A and B are shown apart, each in its own frame.
Chain A
Amino acid sequence: MELILLVFVFVMAVFLGFELIQKVPSQLHTPLMSGSNAISGITVVGALLAAGIVEGSLGKWLGFAALILATINVVGGYMVTDRMLGMFKKKGK
């Protein structure tokens, strides 16, 4: 049952994702891409769960590596997007 629910959530999220950004001005394409790229670093949650387990040392180290990579993706992605958007924002005089 839980699996069916997750598949349901997945399908809903597909439609939502399509709806959300139908009309984005092209000026914002780069920040949109790097901002959503940072969100894809959500896999950090999976990495935390994997790195936190005790048994099976290979799995733990794989999780540790995933944690570093995903954190780079998340932190770098958000910060660079913010930097870009800061440039867009400060004019308009």
Chain B
Amino acid sequence: MEYFINISYIVASALFIFGIKMLGSADTARRGNLTSSIGMLIAVIVTLLNRDVNDGNSLSFGLIAVGLLIGSGIGMFAAKKVQMTGMPELVALFNGFGGLASLLVGWAEFAKEGNFNNSEYPIFTAAAVVFAVLVGGITFTGSLIAYLKLSGKMGGAATVFPGQKLLNAVVFITLLGFGVVFVVTGASWALYIVIALSLLLGVLGVIPIGGGDMPVVISFLNSFSGIAASAAGFVILNNVLIVAGCLVGASGIILTIIMCKAMNRTLVNVLFGSFGSSSSTSQEVDGEMKALSVEDAFYVLEAAQSVIFVPGYGMAVAQAQHAVKELAEILEDNGCEVRHAIHPVAGRMPGHMNVLLAEADVPYEQLCEMDDVNAIMETVDVAIVIGANDVVNPAAVEDESSPIYGMPIINVHQAKSVFALKRGQGAGFSGLVNTLFFRENTRMIYGDAKETITGLVSQFKD
């Protein structure tokens, strides 16, 4: 039986590997997800055959069945209910649950015996418990804060106070100290302190990170939840936990690096720089912002041969994706070429805009990556910027003194004309002035993005 279980775990791990691989390409992604879910099912079923679990004690089995039912019920409900605009916070929440589960698994292993004297590697196991608790705890509360920020239940702005970094460092070092105490003495109170401090550290770590940096933080926490699972795997010496957790940890790091590159920043800078809060640079910009009415915009669009939409977080806030799709269809019927240009960090999680536009049934082929669009930007008649800001700020390529200098942007300023849909005249999350808005070829269309676009649609229909 032991052999059978272990071989099944290897099969499950292989399915996870294939699954992740297939998730990387549009044609196979859905099958990839299915493949990895079959791997998960195999892992769960064979674990139930384990003699420690299946010892004929009906209480254990009943309890497991209840747990699986409750968890599946909640998971299914949330997955079916969620709006696509609510996707970032749901992913954050699920992620946090995974982290907390890993923390509890580590703790349960200790609570089972009260010590690790029977373990083959007592010191290693105790250290693995500390690590699983540390990473799992940070993942849990960190994701929870990310959830609160993303869902708007908590202000998205960075919360900073003097001595913050010092406090975080002190908490972390204290945590490590009690971790060592636990490993050496096996005292349960030391573990409880480690648990409490890990949870605290997750909160402290994420509150100073502003809304626009969320894509990086979410990918990073995703990676952490994998590492926590892997650490839990070392606690119970289980290979499938180690492999699967590690795969997630590594792929999450890759995604994090991609996000950081798209912002031209380092991970350290995102985590400790609290960028969105500090910059109060007041630059002088030549020119003025020129407003345009919806009617005038309609006449320009009617004559346009080529239009690109550049969505940002503002589109998600205004829930404008369905209106955008409608306008895009009308433009196409009018003989215009339509594309949607999506910056890698637009929105609040990696690929956020793609999900929203896919929900609105925008054809996959119209969703273009930044580099492809920049290559043809000069031939574009109208670029419509919907609630995007920093990702189209030409200061990133022109102004060496700008804090975002060097960040790759969508070069809408090279288009023949630009319509910027915006609520008001304020700056973006970074607090930077967007020089795009002051350009000769830019027109501002103020107001709610959804209303503006619906207005344009009805102009076409008349």
Contact = CB atoms under 8 A, between A and B. Distances in A.
A13 B243 contact: yes
B78 A76 contact: yes
B355 A76 contact: no
B248 A17 contact: yes
Contact of A76 (B76, B248, B359): B76
Nearest to A11: B246
The 6 closest A-B pairs by CB, nearest first: A71-B71, A17-B250, A52-B53, A76-B75, A29-B351, A75-B75
Interface of A: 2-3, 6, 9-10, 13-18, 20-56, 58-60, 62-93
B116 to A, nearest CB: 13
A52 B230 contact: no
A64 B65 CA distance: 10
10 contacts: A21-B23, A27-B369, A28-B25, A39-B248, A40-B248, A46-B241, A51-B53, A67-B68, A90-B361, A92-B364
A40 B255 contact: no
B233 interface: yes
Given A32-B29, A84-B358, 10 more contacts: A6-B233, A20-B251, A21-B251, A32-B23, A35-B33, A44-B40, A45-B238, A71-B70, A77-B75, A84-B84
Interface string B443-457: 000000000000000
Given A45-B43, A84-B87, A6 B237 contact: yes
B-side interface mostly: helix
A35 B233 CA distance: 20
B449 to A, nearest CB: 21
A26 B408 CA distance: 14
Contacts of B72: 71, 75
B81 to A, nearest CB: 10
Given A10-B242, A42-B244, A49-B53, A66 B79 contact: no
B20 interface: yes
A32 B24 contact: yes
B363 interface: yes
A48 B238 CA distance: 12
Interface residues of B, number: 119
A79 B79 contact: yes
Contacts of A68: 67, 70-71, 74
Contacts of B29: 28, 31-32, 35, 85, 88
B79 A35 contact: no
Contacts of A63: 104-105, 108
Given A28-B23, A85-B30, A78 B40 contact: yes
B355 A40 contact: no
Contact of B79 (A43, A80, A87): A80
Given A40-B245, A52-B53, A66-B105, A29 B255 contact: yes
Contacts of A86: 30
A63 B108 CA distance: 6
A78 B15 CA distance: 14
Interface stretch (B95-103, B206-214, B381-389): B95-103
Contact of B365 (A30, A34, A92): A92
A59 B235 CA distance: 14
A9 B44 CA distance: 20
Given A16-B17, A55-B112, A36 B252 contact: yes
A47 B50 CA distance: 13
A65 B106 CA distance: 12
B100 to A, nearest CB: 5
B350 A37 contact: no
